[in-house]
Structure formats: C-alpha cells, structure tokens
A and B are shown apart, each in its own frame.
Chain A
C-alpha cells in the first residue's frame, strides 16, 4: 500500500508503520464501536498515514466533521474527537459534549490531540466543565508525515506565517520533536548544520531534548550522516519564481494538496465506443501523485520542456510491448503476454493521464515550451480524446510573466518601476501574481527605493482595495517587501558567488540544478550543494550577507555506532526546510542525489510543501473575511 516509501535510500515506511501502530493502539484503547469526529484540517495529513480501511478494521463505523451543536446520531459506543490543540476547537467540542442527548444510551467521549496534547486546551475544557466527560485524553504525535520515498512533510500550512510574522514558535517545537522521533527510529544524526534564526532555535531545542533524555542512549546505527536546517527566509527568492519542472508546474497551476491534485475533467473523459462522448464528467479528476507510479517518478522532476520527449519515448515502448501479442505464437508465449497485461495496462493508463496533464499545462505555457506532442498524437488518439488547442492568450501571459521574473533574477532594471507589473495591475490580474512579482523585485534589489515601493503599494491599494494594507504590512514584516536602506545591493554578489544564474541551462539533459527554473539555480539548494562540497567555509562572506546565523553542531554517538563508510558509499543528508519547500527545490535535490560523482544523497523534510501562490496566500490578512 505504501511500498513506494521503502524504495528510497532511507526506508521511510518505518516511520509510517510506527505512526500506524500508534493509531491502532489508541483506537483499541477505546473498546467497542466508534465514530470519529474530525477537525477537518487533519483529514488530509491523516490520509497519508492510514486509509479508511484501517479505521474500519478497528471498529470505526462513522466519521463526522467537527462543528457546533450536537454530534449526529450514530449507534456507537465511543465518540472520538481528532483535533489540533486549538482553543476554538475546544469550545466546539464542549458544545458537542454538553448538547449530547441524555435520553440516548450514553456514549463515551475521547479526545486525540494531534500532534500534541496541550495543558491550555485541557484547562479550557475544564473551565467549560466537560473535562471529566472524557474517558481518554491522548496525544497522537504526528509531526513528520512520510510523503514520498525521500520526502517528509509536517503539513503545517501556517508554519512560515507563525514563525516569521507572528513570532510563534510552536511549529518549530514540533519540528524539534519530530526530529527527535526520527532520530529514535533512524539513529542519532551526528552532524547538524544550519542557517537562520529558526534553524538555530530548532537545533538548540534538539540538543536540549537530547539532554532531557540523557541516559537512554540510542543504540541504532545512524542512517543519516548530516542534518541541514535551513530557514525559508534565508532564501525568499526561490518560492517566488515560477517552477518549471513537471511536478512544479502542476502545483503552480492546479495546486497539489496532500499528494493529490484535482484537474479539470474534460481531458480525462474515457472515450468508449458507442457513447459518443456525450456526458462529459463534471467532477474534477482527482489523481494521486507519488513515486509509486513508475512513469510519474521518472518525469516529475524533469524540466517541462523535456517531458514531451520522455512521454513519447515511453509511448513507443508501451506500443511495442502491445505489439508483442502478434509475435506470441505458442500457448506459453501468449500466457506470458497475458500475465504482463495488468502491468502494461497500468502503464498505459498512467501514460494517458500524464499526456493529458502535459497537454493541459502546455495550453497554458505553450510559448515557453518548445516540445511537440505531434509524434505522440497518433498514439494518443488511441487512448484519449484530444481537445482543440486552447487560447493563445494564457500562454502569452505565462511567457511575459516568466520573462519579467528572469529579468529580475538576472538583475535587469530591478531598481525602477516595472511597466509589466503596472500593466498587470491596470488589467487587475490576480493580486497574488502581482504580489509575487513585486516581492521578487524587492528581493532581487535588496529592497526597493521608497518612491518605487510606495508607488506599487498605492497602485495595489487603489486597484484591489484598501484592506490589503494589512497584507502589505505583513509582507514588509517578513522581509519580502522592504524599503532600501543602504544603496548597496548585495544580491548581484550573492548571485555571482553562488552562480545562481546559469546562462546555458540544459533542460533536456541537465548538468546543473539551474534546469529546474530554466536558468535560475535555487539558492537554498545551492547552499546545500556547497555544504557537501567544498564546505561552507568557502562561502563565508556570502553566508554573512544572508539573514541569521550559520552554525555547526555535533552530537556524540555511543561508541561502536560510528559508521565505517565503504569505499564509494554515499553520505545521506537530511535537509529540513523550515517554512516550506517547493517541488522545484525538491527536484533539484533529487538531481544532486542522482549525480554520479555527487557523493551525497538527500532526504527532504519540511513544514509544508509550498509554491509562491500558496505561500503569499498564507501571509495575507483579510479583515472582511472575518466578518462573514
């Protein structure tokens, strides 16, 4: 079911199994039939740990969403609340418990706090006079959720906002706890590197927690050699840029949540003979995206311009495989062919799906993407319906946007008001797009001249409404927007030293991580790469220009657990992005893992998988939304 988690360098299925075991243990604690009342926010992350079938095996008969009033009637013995430790939610739970029908046979109440129980919440329940109504109050420590074979996420949407805007370090505490759990399963990580205030804080907490558990020495041979903690605000630029890998583009355009993407259904209509394509599905098509799907694992990290070729190559292979049937003469050969059919059909479906997605994306990005699906179309007609070529307008918008982004990243005219941005505002393009561009300009110019900044702000307020003054204020607080304080712009120095812009990015056969943004090499990943070789000492100057301290800590291993590295054996580094990571950055790290002479393999962990849009959105304040 989650086999893809075990394929990576580090078997992350251990973590998932540990989480499942704990869940089962809790469910068994509440004997008898049960209904779960969900804090809606948790359903997505839980889906990555356990499907409904697991819950069902443990007598979960009904599931509800947490809301005020009474828990819907259900003939069960136990009602279990799965909630985050939030005061608002405690009030709702209290209401639920108090309005429980006294006439019905009594039901037992339980609370499972995710990821941690909270004295504050229990206090609130006590004030409400319902604390004693609960048979079990427990915590389910779900910090790091295995997302893919080399990817862990805490799925904490607001982590960046909390840490950098509100100075609320709760998510960092959970990060530290999560890393402790990870170390309990995979051994103490001997080396910790970090850059940024939050990274420092997390490392401090980890070392402190280790002291707290002093005595219970971990006797597991360490799987990870190094942990690198990176603050998102060390690299504010990367998430602002449009990701150009296949997976990155899917996320930019349609948004991937908890490993699933919802796509417009038209292209996925199965053409069956006789139906004539009458009733097109109206429900969005929901697809799970992870490395369990062989084809997806192969193409997701490619630059989108290289996806076409990969798809057509795959098409030929599958086609050839199907042709085999003509060669199958003997009964044995036919039997062998038939035995391979399920696998081939799965591959064919997978190919059809991704060809459709690629087309959807191509419609939007076509000027950018030079690949041609022509060679494919013959084959594809065989499987799926091809829709007419869509509007030229969207693709042009995409192209113009990309051009401006690349101008900013290469440092062209970053100190002036940009006419493209002005035009976009005039056309009242989506606000988030404007904010992404303005922030990008500010970051690439190490702040904007007061006049330029005020002009943008005024334009935005006049066009999109005064209420966004709060959002703009937030962006200034986290440093995405700022007035220029010194005349010296250090971004060009950083760009040159770290080689953030590569003119000759090879999209088809990449030789550098810059392919993920067709030229721009993500700063965060460059830092990671340089840490492995030749080490940060070589870029001390640049590190000083980036915000927050950089540091190195060592954790003592018990004697006998020191790893003896085989000749040519790769090191394993866990890179933790505090405040979110993009799919393009992940792709870049995977690229580094696969480099033949790289010497290091990476496992990625983060508070949340983000893209520019979801990221900026998390920083927005909408006062009017609070009224309704």
Chain B
C-alpha cells in the first residue's frame, strides 16, 4: 500500500502514472522492429505484419493477430499485395490497406471477410499513407496518394468514397496530416511546411493555429485526441502546441527542446481531466507534456507503439504492455502523501481498525465532524474502480464498506454495482482473455458491447457467466450468447459434414456426438430441422418436425425422405411415425393415388383398401371395370371382417348388373341410381313387375316399399293403381299417408276413399286434411 504512489510523477497540478498491464505472451525475436502494428482501442486485439515491404514471393510476410496480453489468435502468410496500413474497425475486424488502394477485411481469427477499393485512380499513383479512424458513423478510412490527393470513406460498411479537393502547392506526401470529425463531417487537416489546410468534401481552406510559436517553420507531427475534440501540433522548433480541434483556442504550448520529429504522438487526457496532456514518442524515450513547462520523461526499451485510449495511452513494446494515464482525482485524493481528504482518512481509519487500534475511532471522528463520511465512502468506491490491482481494490472497498456502517441512509447501489463491475473487469483483464479495460472505458462501451466482443472471440462460457452475474435480461444476455454459440457449433459440424465426406459417415455413426445437446441451443424447429436434414440425421429431423406440430415441416422431411430412401425403408420409417404417415396419406390422396394403395397394402389396412376400390370404381366409365373394382372391394371388406360392407357391395354389384340389363332391354337410363330411385323409375314407367322383383330380391322392408310405391304412383296421378295397391293387402304404413298424398296432389275426391280405413287415433288428422 505504501508504494501506491511509487510510480507517480507530478506534472503541473496533476500526477501521471505508468502501470504495467501485461508481460507479453508472444515471443518476438526482434520485438516490434520492422513491423506494421495496429492495436484496437478498448483493450482490443493487436495485429502485426512483419516486414511488410518484403516483396519476394518465396518468403512471404506473416500476419499475426494477438490479444492484448500477447496470446496468439491467428497467424497466416500474407499472400496479397503490399500493405500500407493496418487498422481495426469498431467491431473488431481487421482492415489491411494495400498500396493499390484495396482494403481487405479479416475477422479476429484471420478469416477473410470481404474487400473493397478506395477508388480506381489509386492504382497508378499508389497509396502513400493511410489512416483508419472512428466516428459516430462507424469506422472510416482515409488515404493520400502519390499524386497528393486525399480520398476518404466515412463508414466502410456503407461505402461512399469522397475524393477531397487538391491542396494548393502540395507535391508528394504532406509532412503530416490527421482526420478530424467536425460538424457531422469527416475532414482532413494537412500540414505542408508551415501551412495548415482543412480539407472537406468541397473546399480546401487555409487555417492557422492561434498563438503558434513564431520560431517554427514547419509542422512535423500532429495528433487528434480520442474524442476528436483536441489537436496537438509538433513543430520543427521543438514546440508542442495544444488546442481545440477547431483551431479556435490554444490550450498551451510547451517547448520540448527536442527537434527531431517524433515517431508518434498521442493525447493522454481523461474525461474531466485537470489539464491537457500529450505523450510524444521518439526512439528510446517518451515525454509527457502538459500545461506547465516541465515534462515527464520515460525511458523506452526497444521499439514501442502508443495506443490512445479514452482515458490514457497504452504503450506496447516487444515484451511489455503498459498503461500511462493521469492519476484519477479520487485516487490522488486518497493516496497522495499526507492527504487529509475524507477518503484518505477513512482508509487510514479502516487500517487502524484492522489493527484493532483505537486510532480508528479518532480518524472516523475527524471525518464525521466535518460531516464528510458519505463523501469519504464515495471516494473510496470510486478509487477502487480506477485501480487495477485486485488487492488495492479490495482494501478500498473494505474501507468503503467499513465507512458505510456508520451511515444510516447511504444508497447501496454505487457500492454494489462497483463490486460487480470490478469482478467482471478483473475477469476480462485476465491474462487468458486479455482485454485490459479500465472502469471508465467499460462504462463508455457498455456491457452489451463487451458481451458482443466476448462472443466474437468465441469466449461463450465467460460471456454467459457475465450475463448471469450481471443479471442481464435473458433475451439480451444468456440466450443471445447461447444462440451464437449453438450457431457456431452447428456451423462447425456442417462445415465438417459438407467438406469432409468421410467425417460425415463417422459423425452419423458416432453416438457420442452431442447433437441432442446442440439442439437444446436451437429451440426453433424451423431452424433445427433443415440443419438436421443437411447432417443426414433424417430420423431425428422427422421426430423433431413432428414434435413441433408444424405439419409443413413434417411434409418437408417426408418429401426429403421419399427422395433419399428406397421405398421399403421409407414406408417402414413412416410406419413408426403415425403422424407423418397420416399426413403422407393426405398428400397421396390428392397427388399419388397409387402410392396410397401401396401404403394401405403395407399396413394390411383392408378396410381402407376396400374404400379405396369403392372410390376407384366411381372413376370408371365402363360397367365391367366398375364391377371389377367393386369385387376387389368385396374381397378387402371380407378380409377386414366387415360383413356389412361386403354384403352391401355385393348387392350394389347385383343392382348394377340388373340396371345394365334393363337399360339394354328397355332403354330406360338406370345405371348409378340407388335402389330406391331405380324402383321409383320402374314404377313411374309402369314396369311394376320388375319393381316387384327388385323389392323381393333386395328384401326391401315392406313399409318402405309401400311408401315408395305410393309416392311414385301419386306422382304419376295413377289413382286407379293406388286403389288397387291399397286393396292388395293390409297397408303396413296405415292409410293416413294415402289420404295425405291425395290431398297433396289436390285430389280430395280420392282422399276421401281412404279416410274410413284410417286408424281411429289418426282419424281426426285425416278429416282435417280432407277439410
């Protein structure tokens, strides 16, 4: 604890500290010498291209991607053209800008994604320098060609190339330049010698920074702050000018007494910072310059690069990864030597308390007397957030927790959420994950984005743990991660299956493959089933489709199976899946009648086969064919032990033959009529004998026959025949129908003849009818 301030250096009002983040895990022979390096902000990945200028095809340069801790993520030989610049997009994709203006995009694992060009005219003049920048609209690319022309794309995902106007008097490469984002437009600031120009889409405007030291004859380096709000210029006289990016205000100017042009410069300013400051790097050392005349100087070992961040600058060299930042106010208050700030006192109080010393009370009393205990707790919590060492974090949080005990209504949320955040941050800062985020950065980037990044790095379990721990809503958190995970795993398997036929066989034979588990990640059957089909797990696909209840899906699998399998196997498969079978039957009913028959045959479903033949018989025009089908139906009905149907069908065959015969003899159209209608027609045309024959042959019940004959005769108005009929024997239907039917045909005279024979209980009705 005593050494917290050991790495602090004062600069004006503030202190600066350099903290080691990682000892790099990579093993680079020559460090970063002769390398193109790009490190993504927010603790993102690092890309290295060794010896990019080497053009010999025999020894290709190697492109390597590492995490911030130097753990290798990808490595492959660079086979494309000469790369001028590497850069990362906001969503962790790698941009490789080639000399010919082509930009190739790779993902984090070195898989090629796509490419685009910065314009055709670049081809001849070639890219001299390129810069990748981030704006609210996404990631942009700016290049300057050998012909001194700038081209700019504000968002590479929605590519619109802007060719910027010429810079007067500029030949060859400019001394230095930078991209600014102002007024919702990306602009380029160019320096040629002592002249400064701002290039926007339409014009080139000369500008001059207010109060630039007159000794300078040329601006040799410039850099823009992380937020694009501030600008720093370095002149050949060794002066560093700092001001706002709109060049309206000067913040300070420092003389560095170094006249060499720096290798790199970066703003090192945290939000709510006390002073502007810039880190300048030369070979072997760096300087931190602020408002005051003094500067801080650090020695550097080997070739390094600076990575500007929201609240500091990361310095990466061949072996180490460090963070240089202004000491946050709360840390300063607490740890500054001899600080009497409430936070510092609380920390002291807690230390004494742990030592079981009564001094704890004295310290506490002192804070309480000033009524600053709340403030003290707040300071400790805040400072804990800014510390990277777990031990320091713990000490501060314990002190905060201790102080909280003496407060009655201190809101617990800041403390609780800080504890949670720190746990997450410590987890992702871990060497194996390698995302060295500060708390400020984390808050700026949000949990969602962090989870996205973890998912993108395929760190699914960690992502899920974090979601659960932070209680992120399910749909934003765990299930989203699971979805990606499942897709990824399925994709891998599909890739194997498609690419390697021999693997496919072993896959489908291997019961150990965790397919069922995979499927749990993909609950939507609509997505699941086609995938299973692709993997040739058709049986599983079928049962999954059935389970879903989506009949269209079942049909899809069934049609697939039908084409894939031989008929026997196909039928057997269906047999084990009744739902699929009945759906397929429906399909066949409309589309493939013959298959339907085969299906029934295979199942020995004689009843349905009988029905099938009955239906078939109605499709035939010729009588013999009809009877043939009906005979088959009879056989099937017999096999089905459906006596009634068999007998009824036999009767129908007899009837058809009878009708045919009579049709030929008498020329009366009869075939296809029901027995009832046949008899009625016969009676209507006076073929009483034949009617009688049918009545007897088909054992028509007396009652029905009487009704039938009576109606038929009445329709003919054959009153004589009716009377004869009435007298033939005792009517099984009584005589009221005789009365009624006569009345219906408006023959009251005939009706009266039967009134007397109506049974007593129906007499009234009969009389009423006659009127």
Contacts and interface: CB of A to CB of B under 8 A. Distances in A.
Contacts of B675: 461-463
Interface in B460-478: 473-475, 478
Given A426-B704, A464-B676, A87 B590 contact: yes
Interface string A494-506: 0000000000000
Interface string A160-173: 00000011111011
A18 interface: no
A623 B614 contact: yes
Contact of B547 (A208, A621, A626, A627): A208
Interface in B24-63: none
B732 to A, nearest CB: 10
Contacts of A211: 523
Q: Which 5 A-B pairs have the closest CB atoms?
A: A426-B707, A215-B475, A167-B582, A465-B674, A623-B618
B623 interface: no
A458 B652 CA distance: 11
B552 interface: yes
Contacts of A626: 615, 618-619
Interface string B510-533: 000000000000011100000000
A462 B551 contact: no
Contacts of B578: 167
Interface in A607-628: 621, 623-624, 626-627
B523 A205 contact: no
A627 B619 contact: yes
Contacts of A427: 707, 711
Given A458-B648, A462-B676, A120 B579 contact: no
Given A120-B559, A426-B704, A173 B549 contact: yes
Given A120-B559, A623-B618, A464 B674 contact: yes
Given A214-B523, A465-B674, A470-B611, A201 B549 contact: yes
A473 B474 contact: no
B644 A214 contact: no
A123 interface: yes
A196 interface: no
B618 A205 contact: no
21 contacts: A119-B555, A120-B552, A123-B559, A166-B582, A166-B585, A168-B583, A169-B551, A170-B551, A214-B523, A422-B704, A426-B733, A459-B701, A462-B674, A462-B698, A463-B704, A464-B676, A465-B673, A465-B677, A469-B649, A470-B611, A470-B614
B474 A217 contact: yes
B645 to A, nearest CB: 6
Interface in A199-241: 201, 204-205, 208, 211-212, 214-217
Interface string A169-201: 110110010000000000000000000000001
Given A119-B556, A168-B586, A422-B703, 6 more contacts: A120-B559, A168-B551, A208-B549, A215-B478, A423-B703, A459-B704
B479 interface: yes
Contacts of B590: 87-88
Interface string B582-616: 11011100110000000000000001000100110
A324 interface: no
B470 to A, nearest CB: 16
A449 B698 CA distance: 22
A466 B678 CA distance: 12
A423 B706 CA distance: 11
A466 B703 CA distance: 20
Q: Is the interface of B mostly helix, strand, loop or mixed?
A: helix
B553 interface: yes
Contact of B703 (A201, A216, A426, A469): A426
A624 B618 contact: yes
Contact of A116 (B475, B552, B607, B707): B552
Given A87-B591, A167-B582, A457 B644 contact: yes
Contact of B556 (A120, A173, A623): A120
Interface residues of B, number: 58
Contacts of B644: 454, 457-458
Q: Is the interface of A mostly helix, strand, loop or mixed?
A: helix
A85 interface: yes
Scoring A469, A623, A624 by chain B CB atoms within 10 A of each residue's CB, the highest score goes to A469
Interface of B: 473-475, 478-480, 523-525, 547-553, 555-556, 559, 578-579, 582-583, 585-587, 590-591, 607, 611, 614-615, 617-619, 644-645, 648-649, 651-652, 655, 672-677, 698, 700-701, 703-704, 706-708, 711, 733
Given A423-B707, A623-B615, A463 B551 contact: no
A462 B615 contact: no
Contact of B552 (A118, A172, A422): A118
A49 to B, nearest CB: 23
Nearest to A625: B618
B634 to A, nearest CB: 12
A94 to B, nearest CB: 15
A473 B547 CA distance: 30
Interface residues of A, number: 51
A216 B524 CA distance: 14
Nearest to A168: B586
A425 interface: yes
Interface in A61-97: 85, 87-88
A185 B551 CA distance: 25
A85 to B, nearest CB: 7
Nearest to A120: B555
Contacts of B698: 462
Contact of A168 (B582, B676, B701, B706): B582
Given A217-B474, A464-B676, A425 B591 contact: no
A290 to B, nearest CB: 32
B619 A466 contact: no
B420 to A, nearest CB: 21
Contacts of B474: 214-215, 217
A502 B676 CA distance: 40
Contacts of A423: 703, 707, 733
A203 to B, nearest CB: 11
A315 to B, nearest CB: 33
A467 interface: yes
Given A120-B552, A170-B551, A205-B549, A428 B559 contact: no
B676 A428 contact: yes
A218 to B, nearest CB: 11
Nearest to B578: A167
Interface in A216-270: 216-217
Contacts of A173: 549-551
Contact of B645 (A169, A467, A469): A469
A457 B547 contact: no
A351 to B, nearest CB: 35
A461 B579 CA distance: 32
Nearest to B558: A120
A502 B764 CA distance: 32
A212 B548 CA distance: 10
A88 B552 CA distance: 15
Contact of A462 (B524, B525, B700, B706): B700
Contacts of A167: 578-579, 582-583
A116 B555 CA distance: 14
A549 to B, nearest CB: 17
Contact of A216 (B475, B548, B549, B614): B475
A169 B579 contact: yes
Nearest to A172: B549
Contact of B524 (A168, A176, A212, A461): A212
B551 to A, nearest CB: 4
Contacts of B707: 423, 426-427
Given A217-B474, A427-B711, A457-B644, A466 B652 contact: yes
B205 to A, nearest CB: 43
Interface in A105-127: 116, 118-120, 123
Contacts of B473: 215
Contacts of B583: 167-168
